[in-house]
Structure 1
């Protein structure tokens, strides 16, 4: 797995982690753990009126019961009630089969102090069981320890740097043909962004690295538009990117979410590695020309 694949997989994980809720989050966690601890971790599904016995996953090697919690919104009292119910239920159902209990959640800002104290108190009252939690940092480390084939099974194939270097017109043509839009802007911004544009838009390091990788073949995209029979073709596509970007921004999405959505708009990142490499080249081309994301404003540096 090279640097390009690594950053792409890291970005795909972050989006999946932040956007998965409820059962989808539990499924994501179980698939990751199943790859990381093959033959050791077992996903647990509800069965009949017995449910899942307060266990979403079990790792036999250290007798850990995992309990997932990823609601759309939550309140402190409901969260504390959930912790009490799930932990005490697991103690009752699993008994000596459980030596560790892990509360798995998708709040990457961390748990409230009251819940941390609650976990400490539960641990002191049940000293035969070690309590812990897993969220973004822990699940990220487990995920990125996986080999490329496992990551591809989780998030789909990813192009290598070699794939990007071998990109040609034939790979690029269907990508740009898919993203045509009409009514071009009469006064498009042609200013190339500085490196500060990445920070100004709050893009993650992984998104920034994918754009940098795409720049390796950015000239190919420029040549494509210059040689295309319709001289307005590139501007028509640029307007399509602008419209989609502003639509996503008005919806309040994060920068990384917008970045991934624009990748789908450009042709998607679920096809062949060659196709994905073409998408990255197109994304970089329009990013550098300020057709997507905000340009860096010098005055911002002085505030």
Structure 2
């Protein structure tokens, strides 16, 4: 899909998610997972057996999924259902799964009480893994589908239009705002690690693109500070996974490094023109996920740059 198609599909997904609750949300989730994974087993309620604490299982990854999508949020009710489903799954499906995934429809993210409940469950049931899947991870799953599958899942055509989108990934908007107000200027004491230099060479990033990334790398510490101060490790991982998925899709459609970087910049900013501060902030975000190896390819251990590779500034 083109960038504009992805943004249109994302808007339709968010509209649909806002309307889905209870069985409708569960059916949507099962349709999505069945389209993605041949080994996904969608578990339906059956008579007195119920669903034995599961709405779905992936046989290869050994993950069990349980959906929580009430029409009206009630932390106490969700906690009771979660504990009941988890205990039923442990008692009735012992040996079938290693990870219990809490799938929810809360557009605002995970409620603090629910997050605390999940953390406590993780401590109480080691070595079982407890994970969360909300709108960000659901959208990341949808991004892996082809156009026809997305249209079928969302129930609408995804047109090719020249619409203008101001922000490509609204989950990054708070980070962009933070970087714009911070002093996004090169730190003269910050040295670019050798691995980044080699990665720039390996991916044939040179000229203005290389210069912009190298300059931005000297401000990436601001992003670590942003996530660390807010204790947002889950969101950092979700954003990183989104970048990985989007990069893989872009790489299939574009071959030149500058074109790939341009597409990734639209993923952050949309396709609207922005002021210089916003553009610099976006470059810092791209440099950060470049350094973390979430975007672009890592050179093999035995790879060495040719003598014609561009020099970093």
TM-score (norm: length of structure 1): 0.52
For the 8 Å contact 1:64–1:100, the answer to whether it is kept is yes
Once the two structures are superposed, the pairs formed by residues 116-127 of structure 1 within 5 Å of their partners are 116-127=115-126
Taking the aligned partners of 2:62 and 2:104, their CA distance within structure 1 comes to 19
With over 3 angstroms needed to count, the CA separation of the structure-2 counterparts of 1:159 and 1:113, relative to structure 1, is closer
Taking the aligned partners of 1:143 and 1:40, their CA distance within structure 2 comes to 17
Which contiguous aligned blocks of 4+ residues in structure 1 show a shift greater than 4 angstroms?
204-207
* CA positional deviation for 1:119: 1.4
Tell me which residue corresponds to 2:13.
Answer: 13
| 1:166-218 Cα shifts (integer Å, max 9, x gaps) | xxxxxxxxxxxxxxxxxxxxxxxxxxxxx9xx99xxxx8699xxxxxxxxxxx
With over 3 angstroms needed to count, the CA separation of the structure-2 counterparts of 1:77 and 1:149, relative to structure 1, is same
* CA positional deviation for 1:111: 2.4
For the 8 Å contact 1:11–1:206, the answer to whether it is kept is no
Once the two structures are superposed, the pairs formed by residues 4-43 of structure 1 within 5 Å of their partners are 4-37=4-37, 39-43=38-42
Taking the aligned partners of 1:159 and 1:111, their CA distance within structure 2 comes to 32
Once the two structures are superposed, the pairs formed by residues 44-83 of structure 1 within 5 Å of their partners are 44-83=43-82
For the 8 Å contact 1:53–1:90, the answer to whether it is kept is yes
Structure 1, unpaired ranges of 5+? 165-194, 208-303
Tell me which residue corresponds to 1:159.
Answer: 159
* CA positional deviation for 1:134: 0.4
Taking the aligned partners of 1:133 and 1:89, their CA distance within structure 2 comes to 18
TM-score (norm: length of structure 2): 0.50
Tell me which residue corresponds to 2:135.
Answer: 136
For the 8 Å contact 2:110–2:134, the answer to whether it is kept is no
Tell me which residue corresponds to 1:252.
Answer: none
Structure 2, unpaired ranges of 5+? 171-313
Once the two structures are superposed, the pairs formed by residues 1-303 of structure 1 within 5 Å of their partners are 1-37=1-37, 39-155=38-154, 156-161=156-161
Q: Paired residues, what number?
A: 169
With over 3 angstroms needed to count, the CA separation of the structure-2 counterparts of 1:206 and 1:109, relative to structure 1, is closer
With over 3 angstroms needed to count, the CA separation of the structure-2 counterparts of 1:125 and 1:145, relative to structure 1, is same
SS of residue paired to 1:96: coil
SS of residue paired to 1:55: coil
RMSD value, Cα = 2.5
